[in-house]
Chain A
Amino acid sequence: MKTSELAASLTAKFGGRILGVDEFPGLLGRVRFDPAIATELFRTFRDDLGFVHLSMVGATDWVDHREVFYALWSDTDRVYVMLSTNLPPDAPTVASAVPIWPSANAHEREAWDLVGVRFEGHPDLRRIFMPEGYAYHPLLRSFKIHEPEDLEVKVRSD
């Protein structure tokens, strides 16, 4: 499959909700999509296009918006594809990929912990690296790296 074929098949199904399919050297492409169709798009990629393996989920803080990106791998086509969606910084929420790929669980917890993106429908959205009760999301650009901070650690009671 080529990038243009992927673009054609996705646009036929989702229309204007696919904001663009960019060339990405070494990958099938970079699909920019509207967060409203996240779950449908994930299901299309897994069931129809054969991307059975969710390789990574991460987020970037662009200050005026937050970008969430996904890398998928297909065992049949032996190719990676990248998905990317932009979220508003005041309500960075997107549907969770856990119902489609169980492995998204740890990835999404990491993206929530470090970049502060919320994943709707995640079964257990807690911090993964920073302690529970920590006030910041360290990978945000507003995080001051050189300032000492008051660490308040809550200990889980169970």
Chain B
Amino acid sequence: MGPQHPMTHGLWNLRVRIEGEVIKDVEPEMGFLHRGIEKISEDRHYNEIITLMDRTCYVAGLNWEHLFIVAAEQALHIEPPERAEYIRVLSAELQRIASHLMWYAAFCQDLGLTTPFLYGMRDRDLILDLFQSYTGARLTYEYMRVGGVRNDLPLGFTDRCRKVVDWLMDRFVEYDRLCLSSTIFNERCNGLGVLLAPEAVAYGVTGPMLRSAGSHRDIRKDRPYSVYNKLQFEVATANTADVTGRYLVRMEEMRQAVKISRQCLDWLDDNPGPVMASQLPRWLGAPYAPVGNEAYLLKRNYPTGLGFSMMEEPHGEAGAYIVNDGGEHPYRVKFRSPVLINIWAAKRYLPGYRVADIPPIMGSVDVCVGECDR
């Protein structure tokens, strides 16, 4: 199945060995969308890599910007102001809702439910409108910077954002009514793609897939980054370990994301301030050195260090490891893609089911091939 099969949601291939209708063995094949992001990063300034991060996962661009920026700041020994951290967390949580809505739309479309597809896409647009109002873009934001964020939120943004999340909270009730009362949804989702917690841990599965099996692992809670330790929220879990469980976890995660967003908005209303660190090294802001002016280059003082960040991205545990050996470019950038591992574990959770079960099961993984292949 693939690389151009409606089930794949991107370019990847699933080799399926079957006996009649029953799946005996599967082998995912990747690489159709490999753009060498890690290689290109070695040749770019830190702030230029942010452009690539939006293309890494094109439905969760701000989460990946956040991931890279936190690792880069550790490698460069830079502290961002607190207001920038709150804006980043707000962006990441809104992006989480947008990503889950995209998943909801595409997943229901796979099942043959067209109404949820239209609702999901319609409501995601409201969040993209919000992003457009402060980043200027709807998909490729290039908003975060080493040392803060590019610009502050525009006037009246917090009120507009509150209206949108209030509206979304009502819509989540409607989504649940639409899906959980649908015979098609229940027949095609209940008890499919079961992956119990011990196996999920052994196979490296993370994110909503792991939490649907009853695990409480959520990096935002277990190892808080940015300002998550100052925010109140619950970890969404389910205990069915199947496709329905993953649906329930994502729905609850969206509600929790709204809760976090509201706290961020309240804080941002009360605490104006700078959104970029002062005293940033000049070479971070100047992308290209003047040609032939070696004296200018020699004056620069480059720090060295290692940067490591792990984050709860909408798909699972995403990671970045940056080796900075002193210079304007990182020496090595390594990303951990949650989707690559979640897809690869299909060897464990697909065999035994039927061929017609593949679209709902793989749909419940929330595949984003951009980050998988990088």
Contact = CB atoms under 8 A, between A and B. Distances in A.
B371 interface: no
Interface in A83-122: 101-103, 105-107, 110, 114
A69 interface: yes
A78 interface: yes
Interface in A48-91: 52-56, 58, 60-61, 69, 71, 73, 75, 78-80, 82
A101 B204 contact: yes
Q: Which 8 pairs, one residue from A and one from B, show the smallest C-beta to C-beta distance? A: A103-B204, A129-B31, A58-B334, A129-B34, A56-B336, A106-B344, A78-B222, A60-B332
A38 interface: no
A67 B203 CA distance: 24
Residue in A52, A60, A82, A129 with the greatest tally of chain B CB atoms within 10 Å: A129
Contact of A105 (B34, B206, B321, B344): B344
A114 to B, nearest CB: 7
Interface in B294-318: 306, 308, 310, 317
Contacts of A128: 30-31
Interface of B: 30-31, 34, 36, 38-39, 43, 74, 201-206, 215, 217, 222-223, 306, 308, 310, 317, 319, 321, 323, 331-332, 334, 336, 340-341, 344-345, 373-374
B327 to A, nearest CB: 13
Contact of B202 (A26, A60, A102): A102
B341 A103 contact: yes
Contacts of B319: 55-56, 71
A82 B336 CA distance: 14
Contact of A114 (B30, B38, B222, B306): B38
Contact of A80 (B215, B308, B331, B332): B308
Contacts of B323: 60
Contacts of B206: 53
Given A56-B319, A78-B223, A130 B34 contact: yes
Interface string A9-25: 00000000000000011
Contacts, number: 88
B321 A69 contact: yes
Contacts of A133: none
Nearest to A134: B31
Contacts of B74: 25-26
5 contacts: A26-B223, A79-B223, A80-B308, A106-B341, A143-B39
B344 A138 contact: no
A105 B205 CA distance: 13
A26 B308 contact: yes
A60 to B, nearest CB: 4
Given A24-B308, A58-B334, A103 B39 contact: no
A82 B319 CA distance: 13
A151 interface: no
B308 A130 contact: no
B39 A138 contact: yes
Given A80-B310, A101-B202, A129-B34, 17 more contacts: A26-B74, A27-B308, A54-B204, A56-B319, A56-B321, A69-B334, A71-B321, A73-B310, A80-B308, A102-B203, A103-B203, A106-B204, A107-B341, A129-B30, A138-B39, A139-B39, A143-B39
A138 B31 contact: no
Given A80-B223, A105-B344, A138-B39, A55 B373 contact: no
A139 B40 CA distance: 10
A110 to B, nearest CB: 8
A85 to B, nearest CB: 15
Contacts of A79: 223
Contacts of A75: 201, 215, 217
A118 to B, nearest CB: 18
A103 B310 CA distance: 17
A130 B34 CA distance: 8
A1 interface: no
Nearest to A146: B43
B340 A138 contact: no
Contact of B334 (A24, A30, A56, A131): A56
A155 interface: no
Residue in A101, A106, A114 with the greatest tally of chain B CB atoms within 10 Å: A106
A106 B340 contact: yes
Nearest to B348: A102
Contacts of A114: 38
Nearest to B222: A78
A58 B204 contact: no
